[in-house]
Amino acid sequence: MIAGRYRLLDPLGEGATGIVWRARDEVLGREVAVKEVRAPAGTAPAAARELYDRVAREAGAAARITHRGVVRVHDVATEEGRPWIVMELVRGLSLAEVLAADGPLPPQRVAHLGEQLLVALRSAHEAGVLHRDVKPANVLLGNDGRVMLSDFGLLQPAGTEPAFLAPERLSGREPGPESDLWSLGALLYAAVAGAAPPPLREGVAGVPAPGGAGPLAPVLEGLLRRDPADRLPVAEAARMLRVVGAGGRVRADGGPVSGPAQTPAGGRTADGTTAGGGSPAPAPPDEAVPRRAGLVLTAGVLVLLAALVALILLIAY
């Protein structure tokens, strides 16, 4: 029993940052997820205390995020001098588990997932919270259809995966919202390619998209740029992901939509424009239907008149 309230039932997973348990909140009578935070073996007591204090502070900050795409933090309990983070229990699989079982995902599905994750990240950034560890293992695909980010700010150095860390973080600089955007780009790269992006080589401005990215390539290349100032703005990344998720294509960040890969001549693209570009195709005039109805009525009247004339002639003769 943790803090006299949370009864641990069984472990859900274990990693460098500790163990996540399925537990029961005996006060509210509901199941929750409880993260037991452990300092890495060999950590000095003072460093462990600093780590636990930081995790507790960051969990408190994460509790301010109320977006449906973010796993809710309910409580921070203390037991044995360590923080235990009490969170919403999400039933489903992590994106890492899905990729391990099914392999790379289609670009359109990846774009759909990316748009939802981007909205969740934007909500966190607006609340003043950075995620710091966006990776497939921290994305949960709920059985109820939700796509959710977990473990906001609860990162220990031993739990980092360099392939998903922005260049500025690898060089020791202070992270910002753009660092989370790089990590999102690396996650989308892994989802569509089946493997994390390669290390960014010296003197190279960004990571090129993998061969299977298809219409997602401009988004990946826009997010995976070395200089944080050059990365796609959130609004533009959201627009591009929305178009690709709907089956369309984008030429580049800031560029117009070019429509689905195969658009019939004169057909409409994802933004409602015609295949040749320009303004949306006009709909048929609304007056066409009444005009056809009037023609049918006139023809009916003429038939009746003809029948009446024939009847009069028959009687007369």
| Orientation of helix 107-126 relative to helix 177-193, angle to 10° | 160
Closest residue by Cα to residue 181 from 131, 147, 129: 131
Asked if 192 and 107 touch (Cβ cutoff 8 Å), the reply is yes
CA 49, 51, 57 angle in degrees (round to 5)?
A: 105
Cβ atoms 159, 133 nearer than 8 A: yes
135 is in an annotated binding site: no
75: left (phi over 0), alpha (psi -120 to 50) or beta: beta
Question: Exposure of 95 by Cβ count < 10 A (0-12 exposed, 13-18 middle, 19+ buried)?
Answer: buried
Find the catalytic residue in 10, 25, 133, 230. Answer: 133
180 is known as an active-site residue: no
Q: Find the length of the chain.
A: 317
**Is residue 149 a contact partner of residue 120, using CB atoms and an 8 Å limit?**
yes
Which residue ranges make up the annotated binding site?
A: 35
Active site residues per annotation: 133
* Residues making up the binding site for ATP: 35
